[in-house]
Amino acid sequence: MSVIVESDQEAQARAHIQGLIARRFQRRRVLSWVSLSFVGLALLVALFPLYSILEQTVAIGGHYMRLSFFTQNELSPTVQHPNLVGGINNALVGTLIIVAVAVVLSVPLGIVGGIALFEFDNKFVATMRSALFSILAMPSILYGLFVLILAASFKLPFGAYLGSIALAILMIPMVAIVTFEGLGEVPRLHVEAGLALGAQRLSLMRRVMLPEARGRILPGALLAASRAIGETAPVLFVIGSNSYTSWNPFSQVESLPTVIYSDLASNYPAVRAECWAMGLVAMTIILIFNLAARSYFAWSSRELAG
Protein backbone atom coordinates (compact mmCIF):
# COMPACT_ATOMS: atom_id res chain seq x y z
CA MET A 1 0.00 0.00 0.00
CA SER A 2 1.62 3.18 -1.07
CA VAL A 3 0.92 6.39 0.60
CA ILE A 4 0.34 9.54 -1.35
CA VAL A 5 2.18 12.31 0.34
CA GLU A 6 1.18 15.93 0.26
CA SER A 7 3.30 17.80 -2.21
CA ASP A 8 5.62 20.60 -1.24
CA GLN A 9 3.48 23.09 -3.09
CA GLU A 10 0.46 22.11 -1.11
CA ALA A 11 2.36 22.27 2.14
CA GLN A 12 3.46 25.76 1.19
CA ALA A 13 -0.08 26.87 0.39
CA ARG A 14 -1.24 25.59 3.72
CA ALA A 15 1.53 27.33 5.60
CA HIS A 16 0.67 30.54 3.77
CA ILE A 17 -3.00 30.45 4.61
CA GLN A 18 -2.51 29.29 8.16
CA GLY A 19 0.03 32.04 8.59
CA LEU A 20 -2.42 34.64 7.37
CA ILE A 21 -4.99 33.38 9.82
CA ALA A 22 -2.64 33.30 12.77
CA ARG A 23 -1.04 36.60 11.96
CA ARG A 24 -3.57 39.05 13.27
CA PHE A 25 -5.22 36.83 15.80
CA GLN A 26 -4.29 38.99 18.75
CA ARG A 27 -5.89 41.94 17.09
CA ARG A 28 -9.06 39.98 16.40
CA ARG A 29 -9.18 38.82 19.95
CA VAL A 30 -8.82 42.35 21.29
CA LEU A 31 -11.48 43.62 18.90
CA SER A 32 -13.76 40.84 20.05
CA TRP A 33 -13.31 41.85 23.66
CA VAL A 34 -13.90 45.50 22.85
CA SER A 35 -17.10 44.92 20.90
CA LEU A 36 -18.40 42.56 23.52
CA SER A 37 -17.71 45.17 26.16
CA PHE A 38 -19.83 47.62 24.21
CA VAL A 39 -22.57 45.06 24.06
CA GLY A 40 -22.37 44.56 27.81
CA LEU A 41 -22.45 48.32 28.23
CA ALA A 42 -25.62 48.42 26.17
CA LEU A 43 -27.19 45.99 28.59
CA LEU A 44 -26.24 48.12 31.56
CA VAL A 45 -27.60 51.23 29.89
CA ALA A 46 -30.83 49.41 29.13
CA LEU A 47 -31.24 48.26 32.72
CA PHE A 48 -30.28 51.57 34.30
CA PRO A 49 -33.71 53.24 34.03
CA LEU A 50 -35.17 50.66 36.37
CA TYR A 51 -32.64 51.65 38.97
CA SER A 52 -33.39 55.30 38.43
CA ILE A 53 -37.14 54.81 38.62
CA LEU A 54 -36.98 52.62 41.69
CA GLU A 55 -34.50 54.86 43.41
CA GLN A 56 -36.58 57.98 42.97
CA THR A 57 -39.84 56.24 43.74
CA VAL A 58 -38.58 54.74 46.94
CA ALA A 59 -36.52 57.70 48.07
CA ILE A 60 -39.19 60.32 47.58
CA GLY A 61 -42.33 58.22 47.84
CA GLY A 62 -41.07 56.43 50.89
CA HIS A 63 -41.62 59.51 53.00
CA TYR A 64 -45.34 59.23 52.56
CA MET A 65 -45.76 55.71 53.80
CA ARG A 66 -47.93 56.17 56.86
CA LEU A 67 -51.17 54.45 57.61
CA SER A 68 -53.00 57.74 57.29
CA PHE A 69 -51.80 57.95 53.73
CA PHE A 70 -53.87 54.95 52.87
CA THR A 71 -56.92 55.75 54.96
CA GLN A 72 -57.37 59.41 54.17
CA ASN A 73 -58.99 60.75 51.13
CA GLU A 74 -57.51 63.11 48.69
CA LEU A 75 -57.55 66.74 49.73
CA SER A 76 -57.02 69.87 47.76
CA PRO A 77 -54.41 72.27 48.90
CA THR A 78 -55.16 75.97 48.99
CA VAL A 79 -52.96 78.97 48.95
CA GLN A 80 -53.09 79.13 52.73
CA HIS A 81 -52.38 75.43 53.08
CA PRO A 82 -50.23 74.49 50.12
CA ASN A 83 -49.10 71.19 51.59
CA LEU A 84 -52.52 69.81 52.28
CA VAL A 85 -52.51 66.80 50.03
CA GLY A 86 -54.31 64.12 51.97
CA GLY A 87 -54.15 60.47 51.16
CA ILE A 88 -55.03 58.00 48.48
CA ASN A 89 -57.92 56.15 49.99
CA ASN A 90 -60.42 57.17 47.33
CA ALA A 91 -57.96 56.33 44.57
CA LEU A 92 -57.09 52.96 46.09
CA VAL A 93 -60.67 51.91 46.53
CA GLY A 94 -61.53 53.23 43.11
CA THR A 95 -58.77 51.18 41.53
CA LEU A 96 -59.88 48.15 43.47
CA ILE A 97 -63.47 48.46 42.34
CA ILE A 98 -62.65 49.11 38.72
CA VAL A 99 -60.19 46.25 38.44
CA ALA A 100 -62.30 43.82 40.45
CA VAL A 101 -65.29 44.33 38.20
CA ALA A 102 -63.03 44.12 35.15
CA VAL A 103 -61.61 40.81 36.40
CA VAL A 104 -65.07 39.41 37.07
CA LEU A 105 -66.08 40.34 33.53
CA SER A 106 -62.97 39.38 31.66
CA VAL A 107 -61.63 36.23 33.27
CA PRO A 108 -64.64 33.99 32.67
CA LEU A 109 -65.21 35.42 29.22
CA GLY A 110 -61.53 35.16 28.41
CA ILE A 111 -61.32 31.55 29.52
CA VAL A 112 -64.39 30.58 27.53
CA GLY A 113 -62.95 32.42 24.57
CA GLY A 114 -59.67 30.56 24.93
CA ILE A 115 -61.53 27.25 25.09
CA ALA A 116 -63.52 28.17 22.03
CA LEU A 117 -60.36 29.01 20.10
CA PHE A 118 -58.85 25.73 21.18
CA GLU A 119 -61.74 23.46 20.32
CA PHE A 120 -62.05 24.52 16.73
CA ASP A 121 -59.47 24.64 14.05
CA ASN A 122 -60.59 26.42 10.94
CA LYS A 123 -59.80 29.54 9.01
CA PHE A 124 -62.16 31.71 11.03
CA VAL A 125 -60.58 30.63 14.27
CA ALA A 126 -57.11 31.18 12.94
CA THR A 127 -58.03 34.72 11.93
CA MET A 128 -59.54 35.33 15.33
CA ARG A 129 -56.36 34.18 16.97
CA SER A 130 -54.20 36.62 15.07
CA ALA A 131 -56.82 39.32 15.60
CA LEU A 132 -56.49 38.78 19.32
CA PHE A 133 -52.75 39.23 19.18
CA SER A 134 -53.16 42.45 17.28
CA ILE A 135 -55.75 43.79 19.69
CA LEU A 136 -53.28 43.23 22.48
CA ALA A 137 -50.85 45.60 20.88
CA MET A 138 -53.33 48.41 20.36
CA PRO A 139 -52.72 51.66 22.20
CA SER A 140 -54.84 51.53 25.29
CA ILE A 141 -56.41 54.92 24.64
CA LEU A 142 -58.50 53.24 21.97
CA TYR A 143 -60.36 51.23 24.58
CA GLY A 144 -61.16 54.46 26.28
CA LEU A 145 -62.40 55.97 23.02
CA PHE A 146 -64.60 52.98 22.38
CA VAL A 147 -66.24 53.19 25.78
CA LEU A 148 -66.64 56.92 25.33
CA ILE A 149 -68.56 56.30 22.14
CA LEU A 150 -70.74 53.76 23.91
CA ALA A 151 -71.39 56.22 26.70
CA ALA A 152 -72.27 58.93 24.22
CA SER A 153 -74.53 56.72 22.13
CA PHE A 154 -76.44 55.17 25.00
CA LYS A 155 -76.41 58.22 27.21
CA LEU A 156 -74.63 56.31 29.93
CA PRO A 157 -73.43 58.20 32.96
CA PHE A 158 -69.77 58.17 33.75
CA GLY A 159 -68.74 55.75 36.44
CA ALA A 160 -66.38 53.02 37.51
CA TYR A 161 -68.26 50.41 35.52
CA LEU A 162 -67.35 52.08 32.25
CA GLY A 163 -63.70 51.88 33.19
CA SER A 164 -64.20 48.23 34.00
CA ILE A 165 -65.69 47.60 30.58
CA ALA A 166 -62.76 49.30 28.89
CA LEU A 167 -60.28 47.30 30.94
CA ALA A 168 -62.18 44.11 30.33
CA ILE A 169 -61.87 44.57 26.58
CA LEU A 170 -58.16 44.91 27.14
CA MET A 171 -57.96 41.88 29.42
CA ILE A 172 -60.12 39.38 27.57
CA PRO A 173 -57.59 38.79 24.77
CA MET A 174 -54.84 38.33 27.33
CA VAL A 175 -56.77 35.71 29.26
CA ALA A 176 -58.01 34.02 26.12
CA ILE A 177 -54.50 33.68 24.76
CA VAL A 178 -53.02 32.17 27.89
CA THR A 179 -55.97 29.81 28.14
CA PHE A 180 -55.48 28.77 24.55
CA GLU A 181 -51.77 28.22 25.04
CA GLY A 182 -52.27 26.48 28.36
CA LEU A 183 -54.75 24.05 26.85
CA GLY A 184 -52.30 23.39 24.05
CA GLU A 185 -49.67 22.39 26.54
CA VAL A 186 -51.72 19.65 28.12
CA PRO A 187 -49.90 16.47 27.11
CA ARG A 188 -51.66 14.37 24.49
CA LEU A 189 -51.33 11.39 26.79
CA HIS A 190 -53.66 12.88 29.31
CA VAL A 191 -56.18 13.85 26.68
CA GLU A 192 -56.17 10.42 25.16
CA ALA A 193 -56.40 8.75 28.54
CA GLY A 194 -59.51 10.78 29.23
CA LEU A 195 -61.03 9.91 25.88
CA ALA A 196 -60.22 6.26 26.44
CA LEU A 197 -62.19 6.37 29.66
CA GLY A 198 -65.21 7.38 27.66
CA ALA A 199 -65.28 11.07 28.50
CA GLN A 200 -67.04 13.47 26.22
CA ARG A 201 -65.48 16.69 25.10
CA LEU A 202 -67.11 18.91 27.68
CA SER A 203 -66.27 16.82 30.70
CA LEU A 204 -62.82 16.21 29.29
CA MET A 205 -62.36 19.92 29.17
CA ARG A 206 -63.76 20.51 32.60
CA ARG A 207 -62.08 17.73 34.44
CA VAL A 208 -58.83 17.16 32.67
CA MET A 209 -57.71 20.00 30.49
CA LEU A 210 -58.72 23.11 32.35
CA PRO A 211 -57.26 21.93 35.63
CA GLU A 212 -54.03 21.13 33.87
CA ALA A 213 -54.02 24.46 32.12
CA ARG A 214 -54.49 26.21 35.42
CA GLY A 215 -50.79 26.73 35.68
CA ARG A 216 -50.98 29.02 32.71
CA ILE A 217 -54.40 30.54 33.13
CA LEU A 218 -54.05 31.77 36.68
CA PRO A 219 -50.76 33.57 36.20
CA GLY A 220 -52.11 34.95 32.96
CA ALA A 221 -55.14 36.35 34.74
CA LEU A 222 -52.92 37.80 37.45
CA LEU A 223 -50.77 39.48 34.85
CA ALA A 224 -53.80 40.83 33.06
CA ALA A 225 -55.08 42.23 36.34
CA SER A 226 -51.72 43.78 37.13
CA ARG A 227 -51.74 45.46 33.73
CA ALA A 228 -55.24 46.73 34.34
CA ILE A 229 -54.23 48.27 37.65
CA GLY A 230 -51.64 50.43 35.97
CA GLU A 231 -53.65 51.56 32.98
CA THR A 232 -54.57 55.20 32.78
CA ALA A 233 -55.82 55.92 29.28
CA PRO A 234 -58.76 53.51 29.08
CA VAL A 235 -60.34 54.77 32.29
CA LEU A 236 -59.22 58.37 32.33
CA PHE A 237 -62.36 59.99 31.00
CA VAL A 238 -65.10 57.54 31.67
CA ILE A 239 -64.84 57.10 35.38
CA GLY A 240 -65.50 60.73 36.17
CA SER A 241 -63.98 62.17 39.25
CA ASN A 242 -64.56 61.83 42.93
CA SER A 243 -62.45 62.86 45.88
CA TYR A 244 -64.43 60.67 48.24
CA THR A 245 -64.19 56.96 48.66
CA SER A 246 -66.96 55.04 47.00
CA TRP A 247 -67.51 51.31 46.80
CA ASN A 248 -70.29 51.59 44.26
CA PRO A 249 -69.26 50.47 40.80
CA PHE A 250 -71.85 52.74 39.21
CA SER A 251 -70.62 55.86 40.89
CA GLN A 252 -67.84 58.04 39.73
CA VAL A 253 -64.45 57.17 41.16
CA GLU A 254 -60.80 57.84 40.66
CA SER A 255 -58.02 55.37 40.18
CA LEU A 256 -54.40 55.64 41.22
CA PRO A 257 -53.15 56.23 37.70
CA THR A 258 -55.75 58.90 36.92
CA VAL A 259 -55.02 60.76 40.14
CA ILE A 260 -51.32 60.68 39.35
CA TYR A 261 -52.07 61.96 35.87
CA SER A 262 -54.06 64.93 37.05
CA ASP A 263 -51.77 65.65 39.98
CA LEU A 264 -48.77 65.91 37.73
CA ALA A 265 -50.29 68.97 36.14
CA SER A 266 -51.05 70.66 39.45
CA ASN A 267 -49.63 74.03 40.36
CA TYR A 268 -48.78 72.95 43.87
CA PRO A 269 -45.38 71.29 44.24
CA ALA A 270 -46.63 69.28 47.19
CA VAL A 271 -49.29 67.71 45.02
CA ARG A 272 -46.82 66.96 42.29
CA ALA A 273 -44.39 65.38 44.71
CA GLU A 274 -47.11 63.12 46.03
CA CYS A 275 -47.10 61.42 42.63
CA TRP A 276 -44.00 59.51 43.61
CA ALA A 277 -45.74 58.07 46.63
CA MET A 278 -48.73 57.03 44.58
CA GLY A 279 -46.39 55.58 42.01
CA LEU A 280 -44.65 53.62 44.73
CA VAL A 281 -47.94 52.14 45.88
CA ALA A 282 -49.00 51.31 42.33
CA MET A 283 -45.68 49.73 41.43
CA THR A 284 -45.58 47.71 44.62
CA ILE A 285 -49.01 46.29 43.92
CA ILE A 286 -48.10 45.53 40.33
CA LEU A 287 -44.81 43.94 41.33
CA ILE A 288 -46.56 41.75 43.87
CA PHE A 289 -49.03 40.57 41.26
CA ASN A 290 -46.19 39.91 38.80
CA LEU A 291 -44.21 37.98 41.36
CA ALA A 292 -47.24 35.99 42.35
CA ALA A 293 -47.90 35.18 38.71
CA ARG A 294 -44.33 34.12 38.09
CA SER A 295 -44.06 32.05 41.24
CA TYR A 296 -47.30 30.28 40.57
CA PHE A 297 -46.20 29.58 37.03
CA ALA A 298 -42.85 28.22 38.18
CA TRP A 299 -44.45 26.16 40.93
CA SER A 300 -47.05 24.62 38.68
CA SER A 301 -44.54 23.85 35.93
CA ARG A 302 -42.52 21.97 38.49
CA GLU A 303 -45.62 20.16 39.67
CA LEU A 304 -46.48 19.07 36.16
CA ALA A 305 -42.97 17.95 35.43
CA GLY A 306 -43.21 15.77 38.48
Partner 1 sequence: MGHADFYYKSFLKIFLAVLGFIFVVFFGLIIVKAIPGFRFEGWSFFTTANWIAPESFGALQLILATLVTTLMALCVAVPIGIGAAVAIVYLVPKSLKILVSSIVGILASVPSIIYGVWGVFVIVHFSGYHLEPWLASVFHGHWPATGAPRAFGILAGGIVLSVMILPIVIAVGASVLETVPEETTEAAYALGSTKSRVIRKVILPRARGGLTGAVLLGTARALGETIALATILGSASTGQLPFNLFATGGTLASSIATDFSGFAEPTFEMLLCLGVCLIVITFTTGAIGRNLVAKQARRYL
Partner 2 sequence: MSDNGPDGSVSTDDSREDSSNQLETVELHNVTVTFSKKPAVRNVSFTAKRDRVTSLIGPSGSGKTTLLRAINRLHDFNKRAVVTGQILVHGTDAYQMPAPVLRSRVGMVFQRPNPFQTMSIYENVASGFMLNGVRGKAMIDEAVEESLRAAVLWDAVKDRLKQPATILSGGEQQRLCIARALAIKPEVLLMDEPTSSLDPIATQQIEDLIGDLKRLTTVIIVTHNMQQAARVSDDCAFLLMAEDRAGELIEFNTTEKIFHDPSDPRTLDYIAGKFG
Q: Does 239 bind partner 1 (CB under 8 A)?
A: no
Range in contact with partner 2 (rule: CB under 8 A) among 25-33, 44-52, 136-144, 247-255 = 25-33
- Max intra-chain CA distance, the chain: 109
Range in contact with partner 1 (rule: CB under 8 A) among 33-41, 79-87, 91-99, 185-193 = 33-41
Residues whose CB is less than 8 angstroms from the CB of residue 113 and which lie 6 or more positions away in sequence, other chains included: 172, 175, 176, 179
- Residue 67 binds which entry of partner 2, partner 1, none, with Cβ cut-offs from 5 to 8 Å by kind? none
* Residues 204/163, Cβ–Cβ less than 8 Å: no
Q: Does 279 bind partner 1 (CB under 8 A)?
A: yes
Q: Does 295 bind partner 1 (CB under 8 A)?
A: no
193: left (phi over 0), alpha (psi -120 to 50) or beta: alpha
Q: Does 265 bind partner 2 (CB under 8 A)?
A: no
Q: Does 154 bind partner 1 (CB under 8 A)?
A: no
User: How many whole angstroms separate alpha carbon 287 and alpha carbon 41?
Assistant: 26
- Residue 58 binds which entry of partner 2, partner 1, none, with Cβ cut-offs from 5 to 8 Å by kind? none
User: How many whole angstroms separate alpha carbon 27 and alpha carbon 244?
Assistant: 69
User: How many whole angstroms separate alpha carbon 183 and alpha carbon 115?
Assistant: 8
**Residues within window 35-64 making contact with partner 1, judged by CB under 8 A:** 35-36, 38-43, 45-47, 49-50, 52-53, 56-57
**Residues within window 175-234 making contact with partner 1, judged by CB under 8 A:** 200-203, 205, 223, 226-227, 229-233
DSSP state of 77: -
